Structure 1
Amino acid sequence: MVPKGHIIVATRVGLGKAAITKIDVAINQDLTGIILKSEKIEPEYAVRVITSPLVARLIIASARGTTIKGISRKELSKIKLPLPPLSEQKKIAEVLRTIDEAIQAVDESIAKLERLKKGSMERLLTQGINHTRFKEVELNGRKVRIPEEWEVKKVEDVIIEAKPGFASGKRDENGIIQLRMNNITTDGRVVLDHYLKVPIPRNKNIEDYLLKPGDVLFNNTNSVDLLGKSAVFRGECDFCTYSNHITRIRVKEDITIPEWLVYNFIRLWQMKYFKQIAIRHVGQAGIRKADLLAVKLPLPPLEEQKKIAEILRTIDEAIEAKRAKKEKLERMKKAVMEKLLTGEIRVR
């Protein structure tokens, strides 16, 4: 039993996580309870120092095991913690808590904006802007009311091409960037946190597989829950291509815009439509090209598409600004934590 006000540390599953007990608790073999000497260490400070990169690295380095790694209580007890005076511990914990609260506030703002985007998409992609007369149509197995002026078109009616990329199991640091399914997010972004470079294939004309701004990227193969992720490529990388798990779509610019396809694909993904039509394999699923081309889209006049996309893009930009703010706060927290826990900065 770990009494209220002390801490528990994950020493197997979730290695290195720690928390203050709010009540007396019993724990299993994956956790270790630490009873603190209140005259020497503040509980919140103890949790923050144990979960800091400084100590987390030591815990992970001391872990043993094959399938599930863990650290023994004996090894855990050997790890030394920086221990400033009790009053300074409280101030360090307060500084870090203040940053955490700022991060949490940004998280809540992001969640609010994401709910706004989802609600706006549900309304704008079917009702448009300032319409009063509607008609009922069939869209991918559902009855939907859309403005009378709008049409219903299949994907194949509004695009020039839908071209899958090429497979490559090789790596080449001097090769070409190849975007893969992890480079597309579920909310319609291309991210380059991690990317691969592959050799330029000798049996293909690489020019046929290069990306250019305005290309729509559709994730045609993935786990069944992530299948159908889509994004507009906006030149995030120069001279780059894409794998066979992505289909590159180029639209007829006199009929539609890339953003219209992507926002509709995102909405269909949220509705689990791609999950419904997926061809399932062992460990993954796929969308056949014919099924992708047969997806039905509500199609407003081009100018209205642009206005709707601009509204949704404005929300996207606000979300991106919040994400950037969160990343800045997290970097600041990491830097401040390191300086506080090593004594480089003192708060007396």
Structure 2
Amino acid sequence: MAIKFYKETNFKDLENTSREIGINKIPKEWGVKRLNEVSNIMMGQSPPSSAYNNRGGGLPFIQGSRDFGDMYPSITTFTTICNKKAPKGSILFSVRAPVGDVNIADRELCIGRGIAAIFPTNTLLNSSYLYYYLVYMAPTIKRQSSGTTFESIKKSDLEYLPIPLPPLEEQKSIADVLSTIDREIENINNLIEKTEKLKKNLMNLLLYGKIRIKKENNIYRFYKETNFKDLGNVSIEIGINKIPKEWEVKKLKDIVIKAKMGGTPSRNISEYWNGDIPFIKAQDITKTGKYSYQTEEYITEYGLKNSNAWIIPKDSLLLSAYGSIGFLKINKIPIATNQQIIGIIPKEEIVDIEFLYYWYLYFQPFWNKFIKTTTLPHLTQEIILDSPVPVPPLEEQKSIADVLSTIDRKIDLLKRKKELIIEVKKWFMKKLLTGEIRIKILENDNKQ
């Protein structure tokens, strides 16, 4: 069976209903019903906590949307007492903060008070179509939520929600198109997960010298290392007890020209801000991507001189030392930082900046051993400067960084592809669920 898309030209106005759902018109042959006219809506009720277990006893239990996955919930809790059972295939809608998340019950579930289960009661409504309609309408429903501290919606907010109803076969076709896009997104997610796992495994092998790289005639040759030396006490710090004999382990302070925390000019003095010097904060470091090409804020030369900020030359390493500890960027422009970031200028004749980036990316979990736990968890400048760095021959460092950068580029490409497909899905949802674009089912594949 094939389908054909075509643009609808024959509409009817929704009048008052349009204000509720943000849809002004639908195709003339479509109907409109309130959600409670075509479905049952069951609000969850939490059983006593004494009935909970994680051993698989009783029914799977979900309290709220924290258990939601991309489409189906991930079950970690079970309950031997259940007040509200959601049938398999019902649509799960989050009614307490965060309002509007949507999943599908892939089995019979017990639902807590943060969830509503919705399931069609007649042949006017297809369950998969309902799922995608609620996903599309979630932002609109969320705007109806009440409560300043803890947002929530009432059962009546769902009951009186208008739902446009195409012919049942068209509902199924709409759901099929959108689920096809979802499967492609899932495939890309799986590829991203596998590639990130490959990267992590390669980092372990390459950064510790278990697998070595030689570049010959622009071709990388990998081989297994057999000649190691023990690291003694250093092994506790970096999680491995040996490295190749020709490698060294050095403290960061011995392989840098300069490493120093930054500072923030007073925000009460306007002359310090909106100048020409890029200024980066710790929260900017946590954003995705290896490189920093621009910043949201800029300071003046006057602000620089009247603070502890300093200009870090391009192709240095920026490492967050407060709050979100261990996040990294390589700055591709001269830049100043706040006091929560240490700027690191490596000695190029000893260490490659890209290799150093990947080492500290892999080292990030080990910082937990050194964190100072005051009001805001942090690393001192001294701790960072004393941290150990394996130092292979410089050419091997560059080869290791090249291999890992190639994998990063593949991951970035997959993520961009995923973002594009998500935008395509949003476009199709808007056009198909409002009837701007219609679907016609063709009798056989030979028809155009």
Q: Which amino acid aligns with 2:132?
A: R
Q: Is the 8 A contact 1:187 1:266 kept in 2?
A: no
Q: Which has the larger radius of gyration?
A: 2
Q: Is the 8 A contact 1:5 1:20 kept in 2?
A: yes
Q: Which amino acid aligns with 1:276?
A: K
Aligned residues: 336
Q: Which amino acid aligns with 1:253?
A: E
Quickly say closer, same or farther: Cα 1:93–1:254, change in 2 above 3 A. Answer: same
- Could you tell me which runs of 5 or more consecutive residues in structure 2 were left unpaired when the two chains were aligned: 1-84, 214-222, 441-448
Q: For 1:167 and 1:207, locate their aligned partners in 2 and report how far apart those are by CA, in whole Å.
A: 7
TM-score (norm 1): 0.87
Query: Would you say 1:244 and 2:339 are equivalent positions?
Result: yes
Q: Which amino acid aligns with 1:277?
A: F
Could you give the per-residue CA deviations for residues 35-66 of structure 1, whole angstroms, max 9, x where no partner exists?
A: 413311111111111111xx122211110012
Quickly say closer, same or farther: Cα 1:346–1:161, change in 2 above 3 A. Answer: same
Query: Would you say 1:335 and 2:432 are equivalent positions?
Result: no
Aligned to 2:9: none
- Written as runs of structure 1 = structure 2, the 5 A alignment for 1:1-348 is 1-52=85-136, 55-127=137-209, 128-129=212-213, 130=223, 131-138=225-232, 139=234, 141=236, 142-167=239-264, 170=267, 174-175=274-275, 177-185=278-286, 189-190=290-291, 196-197=296-297, 199-200=299-300, 202-205=302-305, 209-222=310-323, 226-235=324-333, 240-269=335-364, 272-282=365-375, 284-348=376-440
> Alpha-carbon deviation of 1:318?
1.1
Quickly say closer, same or farther: Cα 1:289–1:108, change in 2 above 3 A. Answer: same
Q: Is the 8 A contact 1:209 1:241 kept in 2?
A: yes
> Alpha-carbon deviation of 1:160?
0.7
Q: For 1:259 and 1:303, locate their aligned partners in 2 and report how far apart those are by CA, in whole Å.
A: 12
Q: For 2:235 and 2:378, locate their aligned partners in 1 and report how far apart those are by CA, in whole Å.
A: 18
SS in 2 for 1:116: helix
User: Could you say which structure has the higher strand fraction?
Assistant: 2
TM-score (norm 2): 0.69
Q: For 2:287 and 2:299, locate their aligned partners in 1 and report how far apart those are by CA, in whole Å.
A: 28
Q: Which amino acid aligns with 2:248?
A: E
Q: Is the 8 A contact 1:340 1:346 kept in 2?
A: yes
User: Could you say which structure has the higher helix fraction?
Assistant: 1
Q: For 1:207 and 1:277, locate their aligned partners in 2 and report how far apart those are by CA, in whole Å.
A: 24
Q: Is the 8 A contact 1:140 1:296 kept in 2?
A: no
SS in 1 for 2:89: coil
CA RMSD of aligned residues (A): 2.7
Taking only the aligned residue pairs, the percentage that are identical comes to: 31
Quickly say closer, same or farther: Cα 1:276–1:7, change in 2 above 3 A. Answer: same
> Alpha-carbon deviation of 1:192?
8.3
Q: For 2:398 and 2:178, locate their aligned partners in 1 and report how far apart those are by CA, in whole Å.
A: 44
Q: Which amino acid aligns with 2:177?
A: V
